[in-house]
Structure 1
Amino acid sequence: MAEVLTDPLKGSGLLGNATVPSCLLTGHSEGASGELLRVDMEIEAGKLARIAPAGTLSNARNIVDLDGGMVLPTLVDLHTHLDKGQIWPRKPNPDGSFMGALEAVGDDREANWSADDVRARMEFSLKSAFAHGTSAIRTHLDSVPPQETISWPLFEEIRQEWKGRIDLQAVCLFGIDRLLTDEAYLEPVADRVAAAGGVMGAVTYMVDDLDRHLESVFRVAMDRGLDLDFHVDETLDPSAVTLRHIAETALRLGYEGKIVCGHCCSLSMHEDAEVDRTLDLLAQAEIAVVTLPMCNMYLQDRQAGRTPRRRGVTLLHEMRARGIKVAVASDNTRDPFYAYGDLDLIEVYTQATRILQLDHPIADWIRCITTTPASLMNVEHGSLTPGCAANLILFRARAWNELLSRPAGPRDVIRNGYSIDRALPDYRELDHLMQKGQVRP
């Protein structure tokens, strides 16, 4: 694997002549400009000790001249599905559609998602994310009975095992239509989420008594002091307006926790008046939005034999103009909802830039995989802060155009001041799980 450093970093040293985005420097007053600065970065005993203009720290020992190479903090992935990941070889999407994905995952979950199976696939994905330079991940966990009795205890084990490498959060995931016939489901699953220090969530779409069921989800979260994270309007049907209903519910109930809404695809199909109404409510309710561009482009507007016309992504530019927090994340990885991906947020950010036109100007969109998701997860990642752990990604690329043109170019990952082994796990590690006809014991 191509690397930046000739010799590995071992806890201390000086990274000279580095290029950094000003918006990620703590306390920098011109963050929104997207300005790139040349700096020296001194690392002592695993911490980022000092950041100063390039050339001013040149008397330090163990100098590594980065020759203008870009340095980013390790990254934050706000929306993933680690429990679904890597099942594509045994259960591909039959036609690339959303319903095909839903049915394929349901069948695979019922047949195969034992603790051993979920653990092996989650570990594989975490090893990939770690090697690419991610240090915090929020994952949604399918919580349809009896899967929640397997996945939540397992998640708590894995979170502890990965402590210090990747900070993990989990969100409860179930379709809100379940509450049409099983309202008793909600209290015990909310208790399980609270006991695990998780986040309450649901997949929302237009169902009977939507407002009442949304209120039920909000109230179990409020009773337990939980944040909320919803899958919202993952469709191009313009009649899907659950995003607006979520904002209205939050305001009506006076909810004070953090709310993240993912996907929000149908908003791109709404008339301008409905868009303005919804975005004004989101801003008032301080609801953040995470877009999943690679997965949404894979599933949305797919019809056999017809070239897709619509991108399926939500209105990030309009949201940010209103002060709404926005993020970009990986979503699914090698499963029926998205056949590809490797939990590499640099790939995700590159694709997001191209798909959503996050350029002209580049501005501070890099916050979408750094400081913004970190703030929504309440974790100390994603910024370049003296005194904090030296968790960094080093690139040979010297400017945004070089990085976004060659996202798979040379890269080193530094954790607590030490270079890590960036070897990716081999897909053959999962071969024993991919046998057709495997049945969960």
Structure 2
Amino acid sequence: MRSLPAAQRQGDALLLARQTIPAAVLDPILRTADAAEATYDVQVRDGRIAAIAPAAAGAAPGGLLLPGLVDAHVHLDKTATFDRAAHPASGLMEAIEQIQADRVRWTDADIARRAEWGLQRAWSHGTVALRTHIDWSDAPPRSWQVIGELASDWRGRVAVQRASLTALATLADPGKGPVIAERVARDGGVLGAFIVPVAAELAQPLDAVFTLAARFDLDLDFHVDEGLDPAARGFDAVVAATARHGFAGRVTCGHGCALGTRPPEDVAAVLGRAAAGGVRLVSLPLTNLFLQDRRASATPRQRGLAPMREALAAGLPVAIASDNVGDPFHPYGDYDLLEALRVAVRVAHLDDGLADQFARITTEPAAVLRLPHGGPLRIGAPADFVRLGAASAHEWMARPGTAREVWRDGIPIDPPEPAWPERK
């Protein structure tokens, strides 16, 4: 396994020599070649990137350098509840039933303990920002307030963006939707809704939600087509509503599993409209692979993934996120975006332009969250990055045990390893 050489002291700066940087995560004005990845010397001063210059030839590689990771779709409120379920869920609907039954345990202390563990894991793996969906029916849930307090505590380590997660019909209700949207706007959040896998009429409730978002100046994030029914058209309806309301660049769709069950020409058409309309897609491989096409005593035949290759070919931005961690929807995971990317590359065959795929967990989700300093590596940006013990994307992909070094504000961090939250 390739080790990571130490940074070199240069006066009042640190030099990371011969870092391999994928072009997809580097400021375009700094790229020196058309290659998918090239080597650079990176200088850090006063917690920021002071210089990025082409490396001299001949020296040994100094590692693979990425910007801080960004997780565009997680569920901190549900984290680490699986141990309290009687058995693994048989599918999406049973997972929903299990999490609803678990809510009786959701005291402020319980939510804070579990969510704090999730933030510690994300931070230790190199995540600098995340968007967490928080279940919200009518009244503001306690988890909204508790996670808001944690967001304040974690400012400077992990930026936490909250998104409400409400049934589309509830959010479209004129007596309920404005109350939710007003609170979300007051707290600087994102307005979110889930759309049942197959719904007969979506245009009217979506119009109500988009109007609500415009009124309160809120971005939108939808859980959509989280199933394998080829009749599901939630994604199509959101794309059409985005165009009707002129909401380009402000709409994100997560899941999109059912798109993979539809005829290729049909999928290509809607993905093209989504790209033209400024919609973004977040794929969630770890949860969807676990939960979709899950049957007793049978190997799954369908992967349950959004068609990422087709989306990218259509010019549709795609991010990859952790989604559920340690809960009935996905009992595993560790808030490690590099794990999610490895799985996605293998199962979705994202081998073409392998180095480009690092954008799925850095620059693309940073655009979803509209982060001021969460994009590509560039001069003047905070020196928040992940350094891997590999000379190329291929070497990193081939060696799961690759060394990892997380830098924050120009300093490598050595976070403690938090234990799995005790079952309570």
Quick check: TM above 0.5? yes
Question: Which consecutive residues of structure 2, in runs of 5 or more, have no partner in the other structure?
Answer: none
The structure-2 alpha-carbon separation of the partners of 1:197 and 1:187, relative to structure 1 and needing over 3 Å to count, comes to: same
Aligned runs of 1:167-186 on 2, under 5 Å?
Answer: 167-178=159-170, 183-186=174-177
Query: C-alpha distance in 2, partners of 1:258/1:179?
Result: 17
Match of 1:237 among 226, 229, 236: 229
> What amino acid is aligned across from residue 173 of structure 1 in structure 2?
L
Q: What's 1:200 paired with?
A: 191
Query: C-alpha distance in 2, partners of 1:124/1:214?
Result: 35
Using the TM superposition, give the Cα deviation of residue 192 of structure 1 relative to its aligned residue in structure 2, in angstroms. 1.1
Q: What's 1:73 paired with?
A: 67
Q: What's 2:396 paired with?
A: 403
The structure-2 alpha-carbon separation of the partners of 1:93 and 1:296, relative to structure 1 and needing over 3 Å to count, comes to: farther
Contact 2:7/2:16 (8 A) holds in 1: no
Q: What's 1:264 paired with?
A: 256
* CA distances 1:267-320 after superposition (whole Å, capped 9, x unpaired): 111123421332232123211101001111101111111111111111112111
Contact 1:247/1:281 (8 A) holds in 2: yes
Q: What's 1:420 paired with?
A: 413
Aligned runs of 1:141-180 on 2, under 5 Å?
Answer: 141-146=134-139, 148-178=140-170
Match of 1:253 among 245, 248, 252: 245
The structure-2 alpha-carbon separation of the partners of 1:309 and 1:118, relative to structure 1 and needing over 3 Å to count, comes to: same
> What amino acid is aligned across from residue 412 of structure 2 in structure 1?
S
Contact 1:236/1:265 (8 A) holds in 2: yes
Query: C-alpha distance in 1, partners of 2:187/2:32?
Result: 36
RMSD: 2.5
Query: C-alpha distance in 2, partners of 1:32/1:75?
Result: 24
Q: What's 1:122 paired with?
A: 115
Q: What's 1:346 paired with?
A: 338
> What amino acid is aligned across from residue 99 of structure 2 in structure 1?
V
3-state SS in 2 of match to 1:229? strand
Query: C-alpha distance in 2, partners of 1:23/1:256?
Result: 23
Q: What's 2:37 paired with?
A: 36
Contact 1:73/1:393 (8 A) holds in 2: yes
Q: Does 1:15 align with 2:16?
A: yes
Q: Does 1:187 align with 2:181?
A: no
Contact 2:272/2:315 (8 A) holds in 1: no
Match of 2:311 among 306, 319, 338: 319
* CA distances 1:210-256 after superposition (whole Å, capped 9, x unpaired): 22111111111110110000000000001111110111112222335
Using the TM superposition, give the Cα deviation of residue 74 of structure 1 relative to its aligned residue in structure 2, in angstroms. 1.1
> What amino acid is aligned across from residue 395 of structure 1 in structure 2?
L
Contact 2:256/2:306 (8 A) holds in 1: yes
Match of 2:276 among 256, 278, 284: 284
Question: Which consecutive residues of structure 1, in runs of 5 or more, have no partner in the other structure?
Answer: 59-64, 436-441
> What amino acid is aligned across from residue 398 of structure 1 in structure 2?
A
* CA distances 1:139-172 after superposition (whole Å, capped 9, x unpaired): 10111244x3412222221111111111111111
> What amino acid is aligned across from residue 268 of structure 2 in structure 1?
D
Contact 1:92/1:339 (8 A) holds in 2: no
The structure-2 alpha-carbon separation of the partners of 1:304 and 1:416, relative to structure 1 and needing over 3 Å to count, comes to: same
Match of 1:216 among 201, 208, 212: 208
> What amino acid is aligned across from residue 396 of structure 2 in structure 1?
L
Aligned runs of 1:355-370 on 2, under 5 Å?
Answer: 355-370=347-362
Aligned runs of 1:41-60 on 2, under 5 Å?
Answer: 41-55=42-56
* CA distances 1:307-340 after superposition (whole Å, capped 9, x unpaired): 1111111111211122111111110000000110
Query: C-alpha distance in 2, partners of 1:26/1:325?
Result: 17
Query: C-alpha distance in 1, partners of 2:289/2:219?
Result: 28
The structure-2 alpha-carbon separation of the partners of 1:34 and 1:422, relative to structure 1 and needing over 3 Å to count, comes to: farther
Contact 1:136/1:167 (8 A) holds in 2: yes
When structure 1 is superposed on structure 2, of 293-302 and 390-399 the one drifting more is 390-399
Query: C-alpha distance in 2, partners of 1:131/1:66?
Result: 27
* CA distances 1:368-423 after superposition (whole Å, capped 9, x unpaired): 11111111211111421111111111121211122112334211111001111133
3-state SS in 2 of match to 1:174? strand
Query: C-alpha distance in 2, partners of 1:250/1:297?
Result: 28
Contact 1:93/1:337 (8 A) holds in 2: no
Query: C-alpha distance in 2, partners of 1:7/1:92?
Result: 49
Contact 1:267/1:314 (8 A) holds in 2: yes
> What amino acid is aligned across from residue 402 of structure 1 in structure 2?
E
Query: C-alpha distance in 1, partners of 2:109/2:40?
Result: 46
> What amino acid is aligned across from residue 235 of structure 2 in structure 1?
L
> What amino acid is aligned across from residue 53 of structure 2 in structure 1?
A
Using the TM superposition, give the Cα deviation of residue 55 of structure 1 relative to its aligned residue in structure 2, in angstroms. 3.6
The percentage of aligned residue pairs carrying the same residue is: 36
> What amino acid is aligned across from residue 40 of structure 2 in structure 1?
V
When structure 1 is superposed on structure 2, of 207-216 and 342-351 the one drifting more is 207-216
Using the TM superposition, give the Cα deviation of residue 424 of structure 1 relative to its aligned residue in structure 2, in angstroms. 2.2
3-state SS in 2 of match to 1:202? strand
Query: C-alpha distance in 2, partners of 1:8/1:344?
Result: 28
Using the TM superposition, give the Cα deviation of residue 28 of structure 1 relative to its aligned residue in structure 2, in angstroms. 4.2
Q: What's 2:326 paired with?
A: 334
Q: What's 2:285 paired with?
A: 293
